[in-house]
Structure 1
Amino acid sequence: MLKKSGLSFLWLSAVAFVIDLASKYLVVKNFQLYESINLLPVFNLTYVRNYGAAFSFLAEHSGWQKFFFIGLALVISGVLIFWLAKNPINKKLQNTAYALVIGGALGNMVDRSYHGFVVDFLDFYWDIYHYPVFNFADVFICIGAGLLIWDSFKNKETSE
């Protein structure tokens, strides 16, 4: 009988992917560019476009970065799927982390492929200081990265 692998966590990638793309669709259909709705004293829904990566890294370039980030998302997702296939199913924290990063990376990749930019809309701020606007794909990627860091401390193996 074949040993079950971490690939069974890909359902989580699909959920993250659908949540991300559905939320971006709703923003694009219901907001004008730069339109903002205040929901809490520290949070707005604000429609912006990101032509770069995190914190608009490389956004001011001529367009080559779009293909770079699409390729990067595909490579990273491919590597993580490979690692999921090699991971046993009981490595839940690591498999969850990989699945969330895959879902987020592919969500931003599809957005970038379709629009040429990534739709961002989660706008947190304090007074006049705004954190860079982001989306659910970014949230899933950050949670995945955080889980990997937690897993590395939790399962630290000493080799002597």
Structure 2
Amino acid sequence: MHPCRVLFICTGNSARSILSEATLNHLGKGRFEAFSAGSQPTGRVNPYAIEELKALGIATEGLSSKSWDRFTGAGAPPLDIVITVCDNAANETCPVLFGDFVKSHWGLPDPAAAQGAGAAIAAFRRAHTLILYRITALLKLPVETMGRDELKQALDHIGSITDEEADA
């Protein structure tokens, strides 16, 4: 069986989805293969995302802000799970991707919206802490043997985990 392929999507593909992709690839080696994309990619990875990943020893080589188009056409890797990470609470429009995969939403405030270096560093650390918590929960799931409905329910539950719960 191939690794479980997960695509993290947001609008700009410069921060949250990049953090998620790199973290799942780092922690889920062999079992998971993660990708990220955006509906309106910024064209560059946020430097604070790179700093946050490097601080935890997570590889950043090959990370790029890219369009979701590369996951919809011929030759695109087959996906098992697609997770949106935009922030509905901030009225961000989450991209919608159609296909034969399990979809879930793991909303996160956009750390790139923080103003000033100190606030940005803190915002990226907070966002990544929640991402780490959620990915750790994903890694505990027996995704290889779960049915689609059961997997969807488990992923949605993981996506409902808040900052406070992750910090506890």
With the length of structure 1 as denominator, give the TM-score of the two structures.
0.29
- The structure with the largest alpha-carbon Rg is 1
TM-score (norm 2): 0.28
Structure with a larger share of its residues in helix: 1
By relative contact order (CA 8 Å, sep 6+), the higher-ranking structure is 1
